[in-house]
Amino acid sequence: MKKLVTGFPENFLWGGATAANQCEGGFHEGGKGISIADIQAYHKGLDRKIVQDRDYTKEKLEYRLSHQDEFYFPKRQGVDFFHNYKEDIALMKEMGFTCYRMSISWTRIFPNGDEETPNEAGLQFYDDVFDELHRNGIEPIVTLTHYDMPLHLVTDYGGWYNRKIIDFFVRFACTCLNRYKDKVTYWIIINQINLIYAESFNSLGILEDAHDNFEEAKYQGVHHQFVASSLVVKEAKNINPNFKMGTMSADSTRAPLTCHPDDVKLALQRNRMQYFFFDVQLKGEYPLYALRYFKENNINIQMAEGDEELIRNHTMEFLAVAYYYSYCVDAKKPEARRVNNPYLKANEWGWSIDAVGLYSCMSMYWDRYHVPMMIAENGLGMVELMENEERIHDDYRINYLGQHIKELKDAICDGAEVFAYCVWAPFDIISAGTSEMSKRYGLIYIDQDDYGKGSKKRIPKDSFYWYKNVIASNGEILD
């Protein structure tokens, strides 16, 4: 008989996660090119419930590019991890991190995306970061692309809709896999491959008005991402058989708003179209429910000969999950993608807080896929003002993280195989969705405002010291 599991496994990896485009800065340095993140502007007085710059039309993109002086682009300077990485890694070590999930900026390595040879200065930067992490006993977990496609691949090729992007991405990915084959073991190929409704431009670089059927164009782009991911897995195993190659979900599991059978059925159908991405990437084929959805919605996906075989033969080895919130579906309002759960409270951005939802989705993913999993992101964004205090007292974050870690432990005790937990984020960074600095997730406060002004001094919050104890106790001490 199997032995009961009573807590987090030995050698469980504890750490935090960031994305290059939200923290690095160094936008003009080391030969870096312009990515889609570098043209995302901060909008004063923004509506926090709306993701900014979610979709782009050709006109909007052209205006943005020809009127750059009218905007402030926070992701160009991030929080200066590019120059500050040694201090930031030292603080992670002080918390006891054993892993750090980070991403490689595609435009540091291939500034325009379509070059034949990579940019050595960009490659060297990540050599230095990985070396620094290893010196501090921290395992890098690396996302190859996290919302920072080279802009040139959008303007001149039409983003992931164009099959040529597969070759450019595979070249970039293989350059990284070869270069860092002795420094990195865990690779997440594409950040949140399923988030094509909320983050379509970030994920796919497809302009809204470039196609008559935008939804079809998005799924075509996703198909190219599936093919590219399988090609990367195939190459990876030749480069280093010990590599672990993963895909990633932004968990979007929906609960039925009521127990009315129509709500229950709609929730199941919506959830399947979220699991679709992982059914393809982990089980190796397009499921029938998706083929039916495509037919009924006039979505015709062009596949080349050999695509299906490639996807079947080169599936992903682990599932990384970003978990922040949960929502419901209401059969009376099927068009609403996010219906708030009346039992839950939400933060200022309308993100409903539901720790139990983490237990449910991790248990469900385990039952469905039986592959190792990790929490790639989990955290709470809040407005926090330092004013005259010496330290941010973020008991709300401690509460949030503690409850989520407890639910994760429950899922593990019920059988889910999970090897890492990464809090989003070790330090405050620029928000992906709203480009604000004011949406702070960090365990370390950074003195910087929405316009990039401030000393950039790093100041640990209460949660920094709390998390240190969590890690030291391997997730046993959570208060």
Whose Cβ is closer to ligand BG6: residue 104's or residue 432's? 432
Contact stretch for ligand BG6 (CB under 6 A) within 206-214, 362-370, 385-393, 425-433: 425-433
Q: Work out whether strand 444-446 and strand 458-460 pair parallel, antiparallel, or are unpaired.
A: antiparallel
Q: Is 250 in the site for ligand BG6 (CB under 6 A)?
A: yes
Tokens of 366: 């385990």
- To ligand BG6, the closest distance from the beta carbon of 52 in angstroms equals 9
Site for ligand BG6 in 251-310 (CB under 6 A): none
Residue pointed to by tokens 């989705």: 361
Whose Cβ is closer to ligand BG6: residue 39's or residue 432's? 432
Q: How far apart are CA 443 and CA 465, in angstroms?
A: 9
CB atoms within 10 A of CB 44: 9
Whose Cβ is closer to ligand BG6: residue 19's or residue 266's? 19
* Site map 40..79 versus ligand BG6, x via CB under 6 A: ----------------------------------------
- To ligand BG6, the closest distance from the beta carbon of 130 in angstroms equals 21
- To ligand BG6, the closest distance from the beta carbon of 427 in angstroms equals 13
Contact stretch for ligand BG6 (CB under 6 A) within 106-114, 222-230, 254-262, 426-434: 426-434
Q: Which residue is nearest to ligand BG6 (CB)?
A: 433
* Site map 375..414 versus ligand BG6, x via CB under 6 A: --x---x---------------------------------
Cβ atoms of residues 437 and 447 within 8 Å: no
Q: Is 13 in the site for ligand BG6 (CB under 6 A)?
A: no
Largest CA distance in the chain: 67
Q: Is the peptide bond before 20 cis (omega within 30 degrees of 0)?
A: no
Q: How far apart are CA 241 and CA 178, in angstroms?
A: 12
Whose Cβ is closer to ligand BG6: residue 140's or residue 381's? 381
Q: Coil, helix or strand for 320?
A: strand
- To ligand BG6, the closest distance from the beta carbon of 19 in angstroms equals 5
CB atoms within 10 A of CB 46: 15
Sequence-ordered alpha helix ranges (H) in 240-285: 261-278
Whose Cβ is closer to ligand BG6: residue 257's or residue 358's? 358
Q: Is 432 in the site for ligand BG6 (CB under 6 A)?
A: yes
Contact stretch for ligand BG6 (CB under 6 A) within 105-113, 384-392, 430-438, 449-457: 430-438
- To ligand BG6, the closest distance from the beta carbon of 429 in angstroms equals 7
Whose Cβ is closer to ligand BG6: residue 228's or residue 320's? 320
Label residue 452 left, alpha or beta by phi (over 0 means left) and psi (-120 to 50 means alpha). left
Which residues on neighbouring strands pair with residue 422, listed in sequence order? 15
Q: How far apart are CA 308 and CA 180, in angstroms?
A: 29
- To ligand BG6, the closest distance from the beta carbon of 49 in angstroms equals 12
Cβ atoms of residues 240 and 181 within 8 Å: yes
Q: Is 439 in the site for ligand BG6 (CB under 6 A)?
A: yes
* Site map 22..41 versus ligand BG6, x via CB under 6 A: x-------------------
Number of residues that bind ligand BG6 (CB under 6 A): 15
- To ligand BG6, the closest distance from the beta carbon of 339 in angstroms equals 19
Tokens of 252: 């979007």
**Single-letter residue type at 237:** K
- To ligand BG6, the closest distance from the beta carbon of 111 in angstroms equals 22
The residue within the footprint of ligand BG6, chosen from 13, 15, 19, 166 (CB under 6 A), is 19
Whose Cβ is closer to ligand BG6: residue 257's or residue 380's? 380
Whose Cβ is closer to ligand BG6: residue 266's or residue 375's? 375
The residue within the footprint of ligand BG6, chosen from 252, 431, 448, 463 (CB under 6 A), is 431
Site for ligand BG6 in 182-211 (CB under 6 A): 191-192
Whose Cβ is closer to ligand BG6: residue 179's or residue 461's? 461
Site for ligand BG6 in 309-368 (CB under 6 A): 322
Cβ atoms of residues 296 and 224 within 8 Å: no
Phi, then psi, of 197 in degrees rounded to 5:
-90, -50
In Å, how far are 281, 330, 339 from 333, measured between CA atoms?
Answer: 31, 5, 9
Q: Is 118 in the site for ligand BG6 (CB under 6 A)?
A: no
What one-character DSSP code corresponds to residue 339? B
Residues recorded for the chain? 479
The residue within the footprint of ligand BG6, chosen from 433, 442, 460, 475 (CB under 6 A), is 433
Residue pointed to by tokens 């974050």: 397
Whose Cβ is closer to ligand BG6: residue 44's or residue 67's? 44
Tokens of 304: 């080349």
Cβ atoms of residues 18 and 113 within 8 Å: no
In Å, how far are 201, 224, 391, 469 from 301, measured between CA atoms?
Answer: 19, 10, 53, 50
- Residues 6+ positions from 471 with CB-CB distance below 8 Å: 14, 95, 96, 97, 98
SS3 of 445-462: EECCCCCCCCCCCEEECH
Which stretches of the chain bind ligand BG6, using CB under 6 A?
A: 19, 22, 147, 191-192, 250, 322, 377, 381, 424, 431-434, 439
